[in-house]
Amino acid sequence: MSTATNSSGSTRANAPTGPLHPDAILEALDPEQREVALALTGPVCVLAGAGTGKTRAITHRIAYGVRTGTYKPTSVLAVTFTARAAGQMRTRLRELGVAGVQARTFHAAALRQLGYFWPRVVGGAPPRILEHKAPAVAEAARRVGASVDRVAVRDLSSEVEWAKVSLVTAEDYVKAALADDRPAPSGYDHQTVARLITAYEDVKTERGVIDFEDVLLMLADMLAEHRQVSDEVRSQYRHFVVDEYQDVSPLQQFLLDQWLGGRQELCVVGDPSQTIYSFTGATPHYLLDFTRTHPGTQVVRLVRDYRSTPQVVHLANEVLRRGRVVGALELQAQRPAGPPVSFTTYDDDEAEANGIAARAARLIQSGTRASEIAVLYRTNAQSAAFESALADAGVSYLVRGGERFFQRKDVRDAIVLLRGAARSADPDQPMGEQVRDVLTSAGWSEKPPAARGAARERWEAMQALVALADDVAAAGTPEAPATTATLVAELEERASAQHAPTVEGVTLASLHAAKGLEWDAVFLAGVSEGLMPISLAETDEGVAEERRLLYVGVTRAREHLELSFARARNPGGRATRKRTRFLDGLWPDEPAGRGRSSRPVRGQARQRLTGEHDVQLFDALREWRLSVARETDKPAYTVLGDATLAAIAELRPSSVAQLARINGIGPAKIDRYGATILAIVGDGAGG
């Protein structure tokens, strides 16, 4: 096993199975990771670039602290943002022979504590948790007289959540949103949203429920206001670790402050360059300001990238360097050289999807597992073209962000069957055979079905259970062979941590959903202006976050990385798309002097225009604008300016995405006039 693999923690082939001597814990680390492990007392700030083995560093730090007697296992609380990440931390600690450490998400830790203290402080059982905000938000909208559909309810729910995690009350919402340059959800004004937030809280109170943000807020308030509660929690937990600290929200920081109670035994881990959730209320400021708010902090930088080839690492570094990203770490590749990064320009979206599907099929034929391939894109709406192309190419796939594996009815039914089989299993029959016999009745077969859609998805889920059974069986020993009961126990543990077994298929995922994951081969699709950066990113801060999102996508690849975009949406359409500005000077074969500035100028046209617009279409757009001006009793230029109408008449957009790339028409006007403008353009095209 290579040093790179050891230090990254990306494989568990030789993972220890019992308590280790402290020196052995340190020997498994590179110099910087070892520095993290030796920094046992806080405050500690670990700046960890993508692929640098941060989970390995912090779990070995905890294990070293326990093995040297510096920590009691039960005095450590490690928090992160996903159940998957928390499950990985628990698994690593168990492999290091450390039991008793609490590794949970913020919400899981808070819910556990709130449930424990509520009967004592408030009395009775805690309120029921509102699983989904949508019904309550829809009722709140009705009460304030706001007309909503399913999309509007989703957007308003996100805005309510942003306000709560940002510690913004209904009374302060308008001021806070304006100060943050945050537009209200389309079709509404800030005052309406503020009234809706009040109504939403009323609806919850009447129904006797709380939401997930309330769990954190109520616990934090309980700790702040009840000394006996805070004393008990702080005597239990004396050492804190916070992973992905760049994604902490004001609400989570408020709870963390209550847990700490002014103490400094805190180790935070994060990467400012991977801040991609600002729209949800996450902020990198706590990470960037950590040394100022915690004097005497020991700072350790992890920059040795064990995940990606030098070719991938070079591109990742250049994406950040050219954007002058604050706090960016320059990664140092530790792997041998790999294939060059590929850049491809397609004629249209269909050609791009088919080209990527063909490349994925060739990778699979050459030995790459389908589950080690991902197609990443900016918006979920882009997935349909890739689903169709992969299906036509005969390549299995799964869409990440859909229904969770253990929530699928067919998976739950299969586990019930396996649980029953475990009670009456033949001890002489190999476990793998038993599982196959059971799952045959649940839809599994030796060969996948020819049908697509639900039938294929069902088979893929059953096949994932079969593959996991084989892995569990292989981990058994002659003295302690694995049984079906062993598999059931493994599945129950994985279900509690939402740690799904690997489904063998190409992963389709948005860039946001890909955070924290990695694959041997990654296709970054649609890297064009309007998608990367997204047209809605109209501020400098918004564009900077889009650059960080591209960086996250690039750093998901271990070996093969291909970036692409299509010049037109439809076959035969106008080739008006331009590749993303984030790759200025990096896209090969680009003529000298043709690259755009990597620092966007506000108000600068997002399309290059010749001025040779369609006069008839321009006149039709002017007539429409005049009628809108008369209806609203406003000057015509306040609807849309002549320059914008001329740009529309030249570029002839056929979609909202194309329309959004035209200077002078922002999200609010697209919501108000977009459909009408596209209809006028379409009529002109037909003429």
Q: Which residues are annotated as part of the binding site for ATP?
A: 48-55
Q: What is 377-442 written as a DSSP string? A: ESSGGGHHHHHHHHHHTT--EEETTSS-GGGSHHHHHHHHHHHHHHHT--TTS-HHHHHHHHHHTT
Tell me the residue ranges of DSSP E strands in 528-578. Answer: 557-568
Q: Alpha-carbon distance 22 to 448, whole Å?
A: 48
CA 375 to chain centre: 14
Q: Give the dihedral of Cα atoms 588, 594, 600, 604; nearest 10 deg.
A: -150
What is the token pair recorded at 310? 């030098």
Say if residues 213 and 164 touch (Cβ distance below 8 Å): yes
| CA dihedral sign of residues 635, 636, 639, 643 | negative
C-beta of residue 49 within 8 angstroms of C-beta of residue 305: yes
Q: Is 577 exposed, middle or buried (0-12, 13-18, 19+ CB in 10 A)?
A: buried
Alpha carbon 169 to its chain centroid, in Å, reads 27
DSSP-based three-state secondary structure for 560: strand
**What are the angstrom distances between the C-alpha of 581 and each of 274, 279, 319, 594?**
19, 22, 10, 11
The string of DSSP letters for 611-673 reads: S---HHHHHHHHHHHHHHHHHHTS-GGGT--HHHHHHHHHH---SHHHHHTSTT--HHHHHHH
User: Residue 501 and residue 468: Cα distance in Å, rounded?
Assistant: 6
Binding residues: 48-55
**Whole-number Å distance between alpha carbons of 38 and 24:** 13
Structure tokens belonging to residue 18: 């019992």
**Tokens (6 digits) for 353:** 């999807």
Distance CA 137, CA 207 (A): 13
> CA neighbours within 13 Å on the CB side: how many for 521?
22
